[in-house]
Structure 1
Amino acid sequence: MARELLIRGRTRNLRDVESNSERKSFWRDWTLVLLWSVVGYACLIFTVLAFFNPRLVHFDISSLLFRKEISPFFAFSQASAHYPKPQGFKIVALVPYHNHERTAILDCYLQNNLVQHEGFLDQVVFVPQTEDPTSIQWLYSIINQTPEYTVAPSGDDGEWEVAGNVMYIRIDGDTVFLEDNAIPTIVKTKLDNPDSLVVSANVVNEAALASLHSHPGVALPYLPELHRAGQPSRSKPQPDDDWRPSNLPRWQGPPSFKIIRGFEPPFGGHRWLLSHDPSSNRDPIAASVYTDTGPTLDDWTVGAQQHYSFLHHLEDNDLGHYKFPLWVNPSEPISQHFGCFWGNDAAAVRNTFNGTRYSSQHLSDETRPQVIIDGKGIAVHYSAEQAAAGLDATDLITRYRAFAREKVCLQTE
């Protein structure tokens, strides 16, 4: 009997302990639930706020919700507010001006980069290099509308020597795309590298970068359509303001077709279409690299393929294909179409010019200038030389204009 009572006592005591533990566990569980609910709710609020206000975080919060490629190299941009405009000096854009149709595209990007629109540019100085009456008239029309716009007193680069405490950014007037972070990035890199003479942006398919931007996966197998399309080859007709290559049909042509040296444009306003066969040597870049009869990398056909490849990546939001950190003193000249330098270095910059490119040649004092390409901010230049040879026979200008109107110009109109 005593043993039974003992066992019953133990049973009763154990039951009391379990009951006591159950009450503790009940409150602990609800405390954890409440805590995680608060944390989850806070994260949800932060995610929503960060999605609509990118300034809260230093990366694209939407990439956590949607499938988007993030460049492996961080670039400063006004969208993140991580790197505000430096104070104590002016930032002036020098714009050699050739053609109103191309500079009308650049105008949207320049407007967005003005200080009044939370950009870095205090002033834009156009340097006319054309005598075309229509282009000159257009230039003065936009200057009269924008107080920050002005014209250089002469059609050369003498404006560079106006002031020493000025950072100049030379942006060729034929620039047809400018990434949001391009100007803040090269300004930051120039200040971080005070010994550098020139910091260039990542200009697509220009000079030293031509080979890099021709790698498979960056350059895609685009080919020119050979005949005018009588009927739309898609279910929906393509509007004139559609810049997206995905709405184009696939390339069709004879299996033996290849781009050879001296290839002439099929017809005015022709498009370039993505080929089903990426392994052939028929596209301009592959023909240039792997055949003896292909064009050079300076040919207009290579430029057309590069431009269409860029628009393809732009639509897919994967410009990370073009990105790299810094390239210091490249062995080949770099493009002068998008470069950043101090006014005090204007004479030295002149001495390092080699044709239309910045050269890493030695200066008179036997010092090697530090020339840097910053691969984190992208610009696209529409080559005037290639345009005369055949680039103008494509519809590329129409596509870049359509992109700017849809994505850029609306912010300032």
Structure 2
Amino acid sequence: MGHSDYKRDPESLRDVASKRPWWTPFSLCLTFLCLCLLRVTIVPHCFGRWSFSWNILSRLGKNSSLAPFYAYSEGSGEFDKPQGFDIVALVPFRHWQRTEILNCYLRNNLVSNHGLVDQVMFLPQTNDARGLEWLASIVEQNPSYTLAQGDPRLQLDQLKKDTLYIWIDGDIVFLEDHTISTVVKTKLEHPDLPLVSANVINEAALEALHSHASVALPYLPELSPTQSSSEIEMHDWRASRLPPWEGPSDFTIDKGFAPPFTSHRWLLSGCYNYSLTPISMAKYAPEGPSMHHWTVNAQQHYSFLHHLELNHLNRYKFPTWSVPSTKISLNFLCFWGSVATNRLLKEFDSMTFLKPLADDQAGENSIIDGKGLAVHYSSSQGLEGLDSTDLLKRYQSFAEEAICKGM
């Protein structure tokens, strides 16, 4: 009789080990060290297309990511809905094209679709007739949606103290499946902290973290229009279907860089161009753009779509960050209604009613849950900035394919 196939059987393990040559462990260790050396000296500085198909190290262990932290968050979506209180999403509304993308994720997280959100309240912050008409139409179609009427302050005064609220900016264009559940879970585990923020890409305290090499990749703008076989192919969200970047070897992006043309794409360049990218120039070159320039945001968004396709989102993650040294993002926050009614509603402006508390973060007021990602689309320059890219169409393409389809 042979040994069982049960791999934890110590006898079976001993039999297998005895058949190996004596030098096997040493050769494995040497191979591993060589691969590590190659990864450290070459791969972090080279982001060509070939480097992402070479995933030997990822098979050696799940901690092979170059991110400063690793947060294993699969399964967070299985967190059961807490009982005894409602969970309500508050969504300030300004741009219907962006909130149309967010709408896929909101619907996906409703209780009626096995999510945690009981109700979504939209807070209009625009006078755009077309946008308000679109908003009224989606509220009419979904019984879990409500629309604040009149002065937003009056609506916010009606928040219930025993309700858990999630402030989701209407310009959020991506949510991981478990972002809401992990943020809610973290808030319940930290009842003493007023605010819990999601891991918002390239925002506030996380701006530097999300700009590390191997997270931010050397994407550069295409410099002239190209012919595409179809509109669908032109705006497919997958970065792998983009051609490589072509341009002069001395190309740089300075403070006054203007969009090359409307609806242009950003393309992956060779590793040798990383020092010329907007993020690198913003960090190390005085003539470079600021970290808030639209080109920096474009590079970050295209890098995110690259990692999204390859399932490398762990590069952005960390467990939790309590009381960060700089202000947290105001674009995705979880808090009890009692915090809002007692402190947040003392002041209000057209952008956000959370600013008063955010300005008072010297104490123990906040925590960032690094396990759930959100992507915020920020563009105040219109077609002179991020809107000159095709990013919104790419995020919409992903949402329609992966989130809205089948609902």
Which residue is equivalent to 1:219?
216
Which residue is equivalent to 1:188?
185
Q: Does 1:75 align with 2:73?
A: yes
Which residue is equivalent to 2:396?
401
Note the C-alpha offset of 1:159: 3.4
Of 87, 90, 97, the match for 1:91: 87
Secondary structure class of the residue paired with 1:74: coil
Note the C-alpha offset of 1:237: 9.2
Secondary structure class of the residue paired with 2:295: helix
Of 232, 235, 250, the match for 2:244: 250
Which residue is equivalent to 2:329?
335
Of 344, 348, 356, the match for 2:343: 348
Q: Does 1:239 align with 2:237?
A: no
Q: What is the 5 A alignment of 1:106-185?
A: 106-161=102-157, 162-185=159-182
Secondary structure class of the residue paired with 1:89: coil
Q: d(CA) in 2 for partners of 1:353 and 1:290? A: 38
Identity score, percent: 49
2:197 aligned partner, one-letter code = S
Which residue is equivalent to 2:195?
198
1:78 and 1:119 in contact (8 A); partners too = no
2:177 aligned partner, one-letter code = D
Secondary structure class of the residue paired with 2:105: helix
Secondary structure class of the residue paired with 1:107: helix
1:174 and 1:384 in contact (8 A); partners too = no
**Alpha-carbon deviations, 1:36-57, whole Å to 9, x = none?**
69x9xxxxxxxxxxxxxxxxxx
Which residue is equivalent to 1:53?
none
Of 366, 373, 378, the match for 1:378: 373
Which residue is equivalent to 1:293?
287
Q: What is the 5 A alignment of 1:7-26?
A: none
TM-score, normalised via structure 1 length:
0.78
Note the C-alpha offset of 1:387: 4.5
Secondary structure class of the residue paired with 2:194: strand
CA RMSD of aligned residues (A): 2.8
2:165 and 2:336 in contact (8 A); partners too = yes
Q: d(CA) in 1 for partners of 2:347 and 2:281? A: 33
* 151 and 284 in structure 1: CA distance in 2 versus 1, 3 angstrom threshold: same
**Alpha-carbon deviations, 1:347-396, whole Å to 9, x = none?**
42457999867566548xxx824211111000001113254641110000
Secondary structure class of the residue paired with 1:314: helix
Between the two structures, name the one with larger relative contact order (CA 8 Å, sep ≥ 6). 2
Q: List runs of 5+ in structure 1 lacking aligned partners.
A: 1-27, 40-65
Q: What is the 5 A alignment of 1:302-317?
A: 302-317=296-311
Which residue is equivalent to 2:275?
281
2:199 and 2:368 in contact (8 A); partners too = yes
**Alpha-carbon deviations, 1:148-195, whole Å to 9, x = none?**
000112353543442101111000111100001100111111110011
Q: d(CA) in 2 for partners of 1:250 and 1:207? A: 31
The structure number with the bigger radius of gyration is 1
Matched positions, count = 348
Q: d(CA) in 2 for partners of 1:387 and 1:176? A: 17
Which residue is equivalent to 2:15?
none
Q: List runs of 5+ in structure 2 lacking aligned partners.
A: 10-57
TM-score, normalised via structure 2 length:
0.79
Note the C-alpha offset of 1:73: 1.8
Note the C-alpha offset of 1:334: 1.1
